[in-house]
Amino acid sequence: MTNRGTCLILSLAVVVTVVWGLPQQPKSRRPIPEFKNKTGGLELPDNATLIRENIVDNFSCQDRIYGYYADMENDCQIFHVCLPQTRGASRWSFICPAETVFNQATFVCTKTENSIPCEESEKFYSLNEAIGKEVEEEENEVEQATKESDVEPISTRPPARTSRILNRKKSRNQ
């Protein structure tokens, strides 16, 4: 073996020894959480099963536009945010607080008696189409509707100046 080969092998041995001697990063002893058993595969808070038992995970965001969707299989206690992407769709799932359901008409969790019936939620999925649209369009439509309406102003005169302070000044000057 040549001097050069011996030097190369010796250098390699030194590098391996130094790397081997460096401190190793300890492995995490935390268990990896398993959501599937308790929440049907959804990544929900730990206490989700206290709010709703028997959570079902059949909701799909496939072929849905961006928006908020009540999960009718879970009695609207769970809702999903869908985001279409080039390959499939992303889904984030949330559970409403105890004694509330997701109201598809308002996109918030409300008490059951203040919400639309859960079984009618799908009729309101189309409200997601308005998310992200310019507000100015709506304001212009309202202005136009107001101009075209039959409503007349109560009075065209300026408001009368009848405050007590103004009346006092008048009485002092007289």
Residue 153 domain flag: no
Q: Is residue 92 part of a domain?
A: yes
What's the rounded Cα separation, in Å, for the pair 144 and 136?
Answer: 12
pLDDT band at 36 (very low <50, low <70, confident <90, very high): very low
Structural domains counted in the chain: 1
Domain contains 60: yes
74 located within any domain: yes
Per-residue pLDDT at 45 exceeds 50: yes
Q: What is the mean pLDDT of the chain?
A: 79
pLDDT tens, 123-146?
999 999 999 888 766 666 666 666
What is the pTM (predicted TM-score) of this model?
A: 0.56
In a domain, 66, yes or no: yes
Residues contacting 71, CB < 8 A, separation 6+:
56, 59, 77, 78, 79, 80, 93, 102
Q: Quick check: 68 pLDDT over 50?
A: yes
Q: Which has more confidence, 49 or 40?
A: 49
Tens digit of pLDDT for each residue in 77-117?
A: 999 999 999 888 899 999 999 999 999 999 999 999 999 99
In a domain, 63, yes or no: yes
Domain that holds residue 112: 48-128
Whether 115 maps to a domain, the answer reads yes
